[in-house]
Structure 1
Amino acid sequence: MKETIINWLCRIEKRETVPNEIVAFNFGLFEQDKGYCVYLTGSKQYDATDDDWACNVDFEPKEKYIEFSSEECAEMTWEDFQISVKEIVTEYIGNAHSESIFRIGERVVTIGFDDGELEKIQWKQKTDSDLQLLASSGLEEKKTSPFRKGVKWLKQLLGME
């Protein structure tokens, strides 16, 4: 599941241009007959006191949906599925480069089931010491774009390289 979500987010980052007016993203979740589905939308509005802001869809990536119908996911409770997706998305955004569509400006990122409450996703900003440690680890190559560095780092983190 982790690899699938990270690859999906990497494809979105690579292929999409998000309008500057987008101030919030929502990772929506819903149950299907044999599993779950995750989708991504963006909005020009955000209201911390009213989750209906997420109904204002001002951005939709071409690859909006990702389905999970494996036995592993089908047997998860909805709570466990949300926790797992939230952890993966939080890690992805926390490790993404500073020019990531999710980290530009003060964009808010939330997650939740369509018929439930949204949770705000918080991530730890990379500190100078984190970046120095990352650079000295050899995980990032020089003369590589920030996007490619982030993808390479995530693939190494997942053991895909």
Structure 2
Amino acid sequence: MKTQQKSMKEEIINWINNIHQIDGIPPKEVIAFNFGIYEDETGYKMYLVGGFEYDENNDDWASIELPKELHRYLNLPVKLQSETWDFILDYCANTLIELETEGKLNNPLLQNAIAITTGFDDGDLIKIR
């Protein structure tokens, strides 16, 4: 599973770099980001949204309109698609926590964020930063 997590980390970093390349640096008023997770008919996916507000006591701040741009979505690896939703949540959260601990989420896209979270839509958020 460690090798799989390494490749997931690389996929996330490449994805974030691609978003940054396409969208540029967000306005300084974007203070929080959520790596949302959901499942549709084709499998588990992650998306990235930024918010102009953050409340650590109320996850509603992350109830932001879903991105319309396809580059804001990441299909989770095929090997994860047969796992349970709670495994997916733990796996994604742990991967993002490792990236944050290693300083790899200090990409210009995310560097000014006071908060970074992840979680399934309609579920509790897990704080990464």
* TM-score normalised per structure 1: 0.63
How far did 1:41 drift? 0.3
Cα distance change, pair 97–121 in 1 and its aligned pair in 2 (3 A) = closer
What are the ranges of 5 or more consecutive residues in structure 2 without an aligned counterpart?
A: 1-6
Is 1:46 the counterpart of 2:54? The answer is: yes
1:25/1:41 contact within 8 Å kept: yes
Structure number, greater radius of gyration = 1
Aligned counterpart for 1:101 among listed residues 93, 109, 128: 109
- C-alpha RMSD of the superposition: 2.5
Structure 2 distance, partners of 1:67, 1:40, is: 12
| Paired-residue identity, % | 32
Cα distance change, pair 67–98 in 1 and its aligned pair in 2 (3 A) = closer
Cα distance change, pair 113–99 in 1 and its aligned pair in 2 (3 A) = closer
1:28-67 paired onto structure 2 within 5 Å = 28-57=36-65, 62=69, 63-67=71-75
How far did 1:90 drift? 2.3
Structure 2 distance, partners of 1:97, 1:34, is: 28
Is 1:20 the counterpart of 2:23? The answer is: no
Structure 2 distance, partners of 1:108, 1:46, is: 7
2:35/2:48 contact within 8 Å kept: yes
1:121 is matched with 128
Count of aligned pairs: 119
SS at match of 2:109: coil
Deviations 1:13-72 (A, max 9, x none): 333221100111001000122420100000001111111111245x959421111362x1
1:127-138 paired onto structure 2 within 5 Å = none
Q: Which has the higher contact order (CA 8 A, sep 6+)?
A: 2
Aligned counterpart for 1:84 among listed residues 91, 96, 100: 91
Q: 2:34 corresponds to which letter in structure 1?
A: N
* Structure 1 stretches of at least 4 aligned residues deviating more than 4 Å after TM superposition: 59-62
1:111 is matched with 118
